Amino acid sequence: MKYISTRGAAPTLAFDDVLVTGLARDGGLYVPDSWPQFSAAELCRFRHLSYADLAEEVMRPFVAGSIDDASLRTIVHGAYRDFGHPAVAPLKQLDQRLWLMELFHGPTLAFKDYAMQVLGRMFDHVLKARGERVTIVGATSGDTGSAAIEACRDREAIDVFILFPEGRVSPVQRRQMTTVAADNVHAIALEGHFDDCQDMVKALFNDLAFRDRLALSAVNSINWARIMPQIVYYIAAAVAVGAPDRPVAFSVPSGNFGNVFAAYGAARMGLPISHLLVGSNRNDILARFFDSGTMAIHGVEPSLSPSMDIQVSSNFERLLFDLMDRDGAAVAATLSAFRADGHFAVSQGQLAHARAMFQGHAVDDATILARIAATRAATGEVIDPHTAVGLETAVALGAEIEAPLIALACAHPAKFPDAVAQATGVTPVLPPRLADLMERPERVDVLPNDLETMKNFIEDRVGGARR
Ligand SMILES: *Cc1c(COP(=O)(O)O)cnc(C)c1O
């Protein structure tokens, strides 16, 4: 399998290079040069597989030539072995036509574990084969950082440094990063805001000498290996409710557009998907795009679903590439105009193409709380605020849809206890394996917002670990 850049001016790469490189050299995102295809007969056969066995089947064509079958099997089965539910991504039926897919049974209780657990192991495998190491550096406002830390702990070829804004992540989120006792894991509370963390990470990457010396690498969702494992749960859920004999629809709470792009990938591979509903919170840039065909930045406001508080959805570029008939130069020109002007528009034909599958819907905080309360009253299920966005979107847009409609439960309610308590009067409790999280000893370094201090800190820690 070969991968090409959405901006058409970077070298074509094999999977292992895409994994380690992340962002393409022309600023674009890597996508497969063609989508592997599953026939109806193969999809029927998938009904009988365990989640890990299905994951192997789905990912094998994407990593062909880079990771051999036996290693892939070890990686995938290791990734999902310790998940908290035997089905890994179980479905719950809410009413005759509406389902909830629970994606919070991984170690950090949000869907990002499903890809990150695979990615960490793939990094380790590829790097060991090459005799290399990397230093992963990332900024987080919550879920990504803890998922990355859990995925990289105890991996021999990786040191991981996660920066979060001091005092600005929830206690559960902080402790998921600071209570991991592994020598290669470094949680850093930066004296600043999330934007300062992101700027700091960018500055580290822009110092090319430092970047090369430490072999810096990133695990944000622009990395193709973050998208690929997410395709699996769409296929697993669809075949469980009747695909390929009938089409299915999904409702996906979206921020960076990575998760819902994986659903689109599943459709491109032959899964019959009739609708993809894209749920936004008050930061509704995606919902406005699917209504109007214009992507326009309005600034970002905090909401009850913080993992979806985004200004620009970086993974949308992958869909745009297809909408523009895979013309990388056109994508590059559109996105550079977007950077300059804060908006761009697609043609009516391109919008119609997108709307053949996608619809957007925005949900404000009051409606999130109402949906959490209504869901508990109607079904007994306690859902988190991100899940509420997807479920509300399913209810708002679902009346016209005949297919089974699967809404994604992207985080465990105990990750966002305040909003859930506000809506229901009940504070959700952490699952047993994390019950003592609030008592575990923390290990964190508080650092000033200063580039030289950060560089020295990272260099010291990496040097120490490698001696
Ligand atoms: C990351 C995240 C999202 C947004 O997913 P994207 O892939 O960025 O669209 C939604 N909900 C939760 C709980 C998340 O952690």
pTM exceeds 0.85: yes
The one catalytic residue in 2, 92, 112, 415 is 112
Pick from 321, 316, 330: nearest CA to 4: 321
Give residue 457 CA to ligand 1 midpoint distance, Å: 30
| Percent of the chain predicted with pLDDT > 90 | 87
385 lines ligand 1 (CB under 6 A): no
Q: What pLDDT is stored for residue 23 in this prediction? A: 84
Is the pLDDT score of 192 beyond 80?
Answer: yes
Active site residue 202: no
Atom of ligand 1 at shortest distance to CA of 411? 13
163: β partners: 139, 188
Among 155, 145, 187, which residue's Cα sits nearest to residue 79? 155
Q: Is 72 in the pocket of ligand 1 (CB under 6 A)?
A: no
Mean of the per-residue pLDDT values for the chain?
95
Q: Would you place residue 465 in the very low, low, confident or very high pLDDT band (cuts 50, 70, 90)?
A: low
114 lines ligand 1 (CB under 6 A): no
Q: Please state the rounded mean pLDDT for residues 26-52.
A: 97
Q: Are 286 and 300 in contact (CB under 8 A)?
A: no
pLDDT in tens, 406-456: 999 999 999 999 999 999 999 999 999 899 999 999 999 999 999 999 999
What residue's CA is closest to ligand 1, atom 14?
307
Range with the poorest average pLDDT among 97-111, 187-201, 332-346, 446-460:
187-201
Atom of ligand 1 nearest to the CA of 147: 15
Q: So what's the pLDDT on residue 22?
A: 85
d(CA 301, CA 282): 7
pLDDT digits (tens, 9 = 90+) for 56-74: 999 999 999 999 999 999 9
Confidence check: pLDDT of 328 > 80? yes
Average pLDDT, stretch 212-237? 93
Ligand 1 touching residue 306 (CB < 6 A): no
- In the predicted model, is pLDDT for residue 177 greater than 60? yes
Quote the ligand 1 centre to 467 CA distance (angstroms). Answer: 37
Q: How far is the CA of 222 from the centre of ligand 1 (A)?
A: 13
Separation of 308 CA from ligand 1 center, angstroms?
6
Evaluate: CB of 116 within 6 angstroms of ligand 1. no
Residue 119 is predicted with a pLDDT of 96
Pocket mutation for ligand 1, best pick of 281, 283, 308, 313 (most atoms within 8 Å of C-beta)? 308
Mean pLDDT calculated for residue range 42-65:
98
For residue 232, give every residue at least 6 positions away whose Cβ sits within 8 Å of its Cβ, in sequence order, or none. Answer: 51, 54, 55, 58, 59, 114
The pLDDT value given to residue 467: 47
pLDDT at 466: 59
Comparing 25 with 76, the larger pLDDT belongs to: 76
Q: Can you tell me the mean pLDDT for 189-196?
A: 90
Structure tokens at 451: 């580039």
Q: Is the minimum distance from the CB of 258 to ligand 1 under 6 angstroms?
A: yes
Percent of the chain scoring above 70 in pLDDT: 99
Q: Give the pLDDT score at 330.
A: 98
CB of residue 112 inside a 6 A radius of ligand 1: yes
The arithmetic mean of pLDDT across residues 201-220, rounded, is 89
For residues 313 and 293, the answer to whether their CB atoms sit within 8 Å is no
Convert the pLDDT of each residue in 365-397 to its tens digit: 999 999 999 999 999 999 999 999 999 999 999
Decide: 304 in ligand 1 pocket, CB within 6 A. no
> Is pLDDT above 90 for 49?
yes
pLDDT at 311 (0 to 100): 84
Least confident interval from 38-47, 217-226, 247-256, 289-298: 217-226
- Tell me, what amino acid is at 463? G
pLDDT for the residue numbered 143: 83
